[in-house]
């Protein structure tokens, strides 16, 4: 079945460091891919999305490219800030059942000044 695998956290970085959070997926067909962010004590916010191969989603300095050949959707940011500290969830839309989002386990990012 469809699934999403994210790197284990926490990821701990100093401010202005480069961020990569790995996400790979298993899916039949051509799912849409998403990154959601959850700040402490809050709900999920859509960070970015990509709907087809080679699409790049970007928002707030974060970006991710839909790579069909490697079944990956890695999240990157060139210079993180303390305010980026949160949990990041990679997700795909389950095309066999379009109501469902398949989430990864989440990766906690901690950025220190």
Partner 1 sequence: DTEVTQTPKHLVMGMTNKKSLKCEQHMGHRAMYWYKQKAKKPPELMFVYSYEKLSINESVPSRFSPECPNSSLLNLHLHALQPEDSALYLCASSQDRTGLTDTQYFGPGTRLTVL
Footprint on this chain of partner 1 (rule: CB under 8 A): 32, 34, 36, 41-46, 49, 51, 89, 93, 95, 97-101, 103-106
In the bound complex, what is the minimum distance in angstroms from residue 106's beta carbon to partner 1? 6
In 3D space, the residue among 24, 33, 14 whose CA is nearest the CA of residue 79 turns out to be 14
Q: Helices (H), strands (E): how many in the chain?
A: 0, 12
> With contact defined as beta carbons under 8 Å apart, do 88 and 106 qualify?
yes
In angstroms, rounded to a whole number, what is the distance separating the alpha carbons of residues 18 and 13? 8
- CB closer to partner 1, 8 vs 16: 8
- CB closer to partner 1, 11 vs 104: 104
In the bound complex, what is the minimum distance in angstroms from residue 16's beta carbon to partner 1? 27
């Amino acid at each position: 079945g469809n699934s999403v695998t994210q790197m284990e956290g926490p990821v701990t970085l100093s401010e202005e460091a480069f961020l990569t959070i790995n996400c790979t997926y298993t899916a039949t067909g051509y799912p849409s891919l998403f990154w959601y962010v959850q700040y402490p004590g809050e709900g999920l916010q859509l960070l970015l999305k990509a709907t087809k191969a080679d699409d790049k989603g970007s928002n707030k300095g974060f970006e991710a490219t839909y790579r069909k050949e490697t079944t990956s959707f890695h999240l990157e940011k060139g210079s993180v800030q303390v305010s980026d500290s949160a949990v990041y969830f990679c997700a795909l839309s389950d095309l066999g059942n379009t109501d469902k989002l398949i989430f990864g386990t989440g990766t906690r990012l901690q950025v220190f000044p």
